[in-house]
Structure 1
Amino acid sequence: MLKASGTALAAGVGLSASSGSAAAVSTFDIEVLDVGGSVFGSGSTPSIPVGEEVFIFAHGWFGDTTVASQAADVASSMEDVGYEADEYVAIEWDATTINFIGAENETEDVGETVAEMLEEFYDDGGGDVRLVGHSLGGRVVLETVNHIDDGYEVETVAPLGAAADGDMVCEGEGGLFGDNWYDGIADNAADVRNYHSEDDSTVGAAYGGIGGAALGTDGSGCPDDTAETYTDVDVTDSVGSHMGFLGDEAVGADLAEAAGVDVDDDDGGWGWL
């Protein structure tokens, strides 16, 4: 239970910069948007820069200090196989706290704020969005599509090692009174790809319970009860840890393919996808 393993998660979620090869997309290419003030009503909500193709990354617990480098690692793994965005954005929120439950609860408010930002982005003529979130950031991106108004649709939503129970994406299951992310996934996302690894012991030890599924480790655990727009992507063969999703070649290639890049399985070595 994550409620009982905060120390272990803090050690693996964001206290250090992410691993991976040298970034082709550098931290200087990432525009960091701080939503912390707007979540608590003490500041204005920042605007997502308008472009035809926009990459947006949301960090997890303690990840606000390294959000630009984490975003650059993921974007670079996509660029390695031909992806290119007009704008690269990182969502920074107040995640450096020993109160994990408070940070987990805050992801709903952050997701609601990002939803408002995306509505403004689309209203201003913005194009396609690739919305990626790591760990608690996976909750942020799923909360975003849950809160965005009907009539808007995010092109790609990608939780990486999401810190959540697997039944939160299942129809009619999840939190109190059955509230979960199913409706948002079904109605407001064109393509949701949940990247999980059996070797993500951080999330696996924290979520799922006895006999259940941890979203970032096992996937949904309900393949017959997820939305048509939802897919579990097992990257156990290449991701060996909770931070290993960031900059991983297989994750990057699959995300790029979701964005319309023609990834050559034969030449590029992506046959494990």
Structure 2
Amino acid sequence: MGVVSASGTAAAGSSTANADAPSDYPRVTTRDHFDDDANLADGETAFSYQKAGDFAGIGDEPLTLFVHGWMNSEDDALDGAYECQLALEANGYGGDTAAFSWDSDQGDSLDLGWADAKDIAEKNGPKLANFVTDWNANVGTDVRLVAHSLGARVTIFAMESLETDFGAADAVTSATLLGGAVAEDAVSLDAGWFDSEYGDHIEYAAEQFDNFHDDGDPILEYVYETREWEDAVGEKGCDGPEPDNYTDFDVTDQVDAHGDYYKRDVGVADQIVAQW
């Protein structure tokens, strides 16, 4: 989530600030694709995206794409991705990293824009899926997604789109949720009568799907739950039958703040890399 998610100490109750990304940091961007009412901008489509920054050195190694959370500006998104990159590299990751930057700071609904941001996150799923399939077709190196907070919603809708729009089985090598701001049963194979589940899409589109959750996460407990009236997968883990490729990791004792998961020294990058 952004002020509840990603970029600095005050922004997410985080114990450390993100590193400052280079101005040409590589990104897949859908910035300004949506207005404050979550309507698609003129000239954009449900699947459009752009690439920006320096991609010259990217393509020979596996690509990890960092999907940020709520209320992140473009600069926040790049700083979060760069911080994640440094944390992964410090724990032995040798591949490429880029940001997926989306309009998480758009929205003017009465709940501080949360409802609109959720819609925008959902509508970014097919855009992310389109990038993944293009990358697979044109480059061919593995794609890993690391999604923080509301970025988890972008990711599960990308899983849905990879199956229903593209028929792209095992399109991503892995997807990792960190403090995911989606319902705890959304990742399951059966969410019951009243909720939607995406477990079938997760099984189809990802070779591996990991969820790191913190039962003491105050942002998810006091911000997410007050808006959604249910627990988040980033707090409780999966509620319901799990997809075959899905694993929960309880990191309650390791993570002190919602914005810490992907950071150097205070996060769980060592555990993320260990699953790869």
TM-score, normalised by the number of residues in structure 2: 0.78
SS for the counterpart of 1:142 is: helix
* Counterpart check, 1:130 vs 2:144: yes
| Structure 1 residue corresponding to 2:103, chosen from 94, 97, 101 | 94
The residue number in structure 1 matching 2:167 is 150
Change (3 A) 1:73 1:10: closer
Cα pair 2:65 2:99 within 8 Å, conserved: yes
Change (3 A) 1:15 1:21: closer
The residue number in structure 2 matching 1:68 is 78
Provide the C-alpha distance between the structure 1 equivalents of 2:61 and 2:25, rounded to a whole number of angstroms: 16
What is the CA-CA distance between 1:179 and the residue it aligns to? Answer: 2.9
> Which amino acid is the alignment partner of residue 26 of structure 2?
E
The residue number in structure 2 matching 1:243 is 259
Change (3 A) 1:27 1:193: farther
SS for the counterpart of 2:234 is: coil
* Counterpart check, 1:34 vs 2:29: yes
Cα pair 2:84 2:263 within 8 Å, conserved: yes
> Which amino acid is the alignment partner of residue 30 of structure 1?
Y
Cα pair 1:29 1:88 within 8 Å, conserved: no
| Structure 2 residue corresponding to 1:197, chosen from 196, 211, 214 | 214
What is the CA-CA distance between 1:10 and the residue it aligns to? Answer: 5.8
The count of residues paired between Structure 1 and Structure 2 equals 245
1:64-100 superposed Cα distances (whole Å, 9 cap, x missing partner): 3411111122222211121111x32101111114311
Cα pair 2:144 2:173 within 8 Å, conserved: yes
Change (3 A) 1:165 1:73: same
The residue number in structure 2 matching 1:169 is 187
* Counterpart check, 1:220 vs 2:274: no
1:92-125 superposed Cα distances (whole Å, 9 cap, x missing partner): 1111143110001111111110101111110113
| Structure 1 residue corresponding to 2:196, chosen from 179, 196, 202 | 179
> Which amino acid is the alignment partner of residue 215 of structure 1?
V
What is the CA-CA distance between 1:132 and the residue it aligns to? Answer: 0.8
| Structure 1 residue corresponding to 2:123, chosen from 101, 105, 109 | 109
Range that drifts further, 131-140 or 92-101: 92-101
Cα pair 1:19 1:246 within 8 Å, conserved: no
SS for the counterpart of 2:64 is: strand
Cα pair 1:75 1:252 within 8 Å, conserved: no
SS for the counterpart of 1:232 is: strand
Q: Choose between structure 1 and 2: higher helix proportion.
A: 1
> Which amino acid is the alignment partner of residue 160 of structure 1?
L
What is the CA-CA distance between 1:136 and the residue it aligns to? Answer: 0.6
Superposition RMSD in Å: 2.7
* Counterpart check, 1:46 vs 2:50: yes
The residue number in structure 2 matching 1:13 is 5
Provide the C-alpha distance between the structure 2 equivalents of 1:234 and 1:255, rounded to a whole number of angstroms: 12
| Structure 2 residue corresponding to 1:233, chosen from 249, 252, 255 | 249
> Which amino acid is the alignment partner of residue 153 of structure 2?
R
Provide the C-alpha distance between the structure 2 equivalents of 1:122 and 1:155, rounded to a whole number of angstroms: 11
What is the CA-CA distance between 1:255 and the residue it aligns to? Answer: 1.8
Provide the C-alpha distance between the structure 2 equivalents of 1:175 and 1:69, rounded to a whole number of angstroms: 40
The alignment-based identity, stated in percent, is 24
Provide the C-alpha distance between the structure 2 equivalents of 1:20 and 1:75, rounded to a whole number of angstroms: 15
What is the CA-CA distance between 1:52 and the residue it aligns to? Answer: 3.1
What is the CA-CA distance between 1:207 and the residue it aligns to? Answer: 3.1
Change (3 A) 1:20 1:28: farther
SS for the counterpart of 2:168 is: coil
SS for the counterpart of 1:30 is: coil
The residue number in structure 2 matching 1:268 is none
What is the CA-CA distance between 1:21 and the residue it aligns to? Answer: 8.0
Cα pair 2:91 2:273 within 8 Å, conserved: yes
Provide the C-alpha distance between the structure 2 equivalents of 1:175 and 1:123, rounded to a whole number of angstroms: 38
What is the CA-CA distance between 1:33 and the residue it aligns to? Answer: 2.6
Question: Structure 1, unaligned stretches of length 5 or more?
Answer: 1-8, 260-273
What is the CA-CA distance between 1:19 and the residue it aligns to? Answer: 5.0
